[in-house]
Amino acid sequence: MIEAKGEFCFAALNVRNVGDVAASLDPACQYMLDGDQRFEPHPEVMALDELSVGGFGREIAPGQLVENTALYYDVPKASHPEALELHEVCGDQGTRLALQADLRSDRLGGNQG
């Protein structure tokens, strides 16, 4: 069983490759933000979910849409994540994607697995 230090929180999203060449997204470069706190995805929890495995770390062809892929984070119980910071490649400027307030309560509790 995998235990969270706080609680697990997930974000589901659709990813489309709008480029001219195949690309893949490294899950380690996709962050959840809460104020000035930045959380990295939890690799062990992500490995348990086919939605995570289907969209991240795999090649996405030009024009291909991967629907409902997921990222999982271990966040403090008192946190209120406000955005995702998404990167095409690690180290690029990335883009900030605000989370909808009514969806900020997608929490999984303290244990997974």
pLDDT per residue over 84-108, tens digit each? 999 888 889 999 999 876 554 455 5
52 Cβ contact partners less than 8 Å away, ≥ 6 residues apart: 27, 46, 69, 70, 71, 72
Mean pLDDT for the stretch of residues 49-62: 72
For residue 41, the cross-strand partners are: 73
**Right CATH for 2-112 from 2.40.50, 1.25.10, 2.60.40, 2.70.50:** 2.60.40
- On whether the pTM is more than 0.85, the answer is no
| DSSP symbols for 84-100 | EEE-SSTTS--EEEEPP
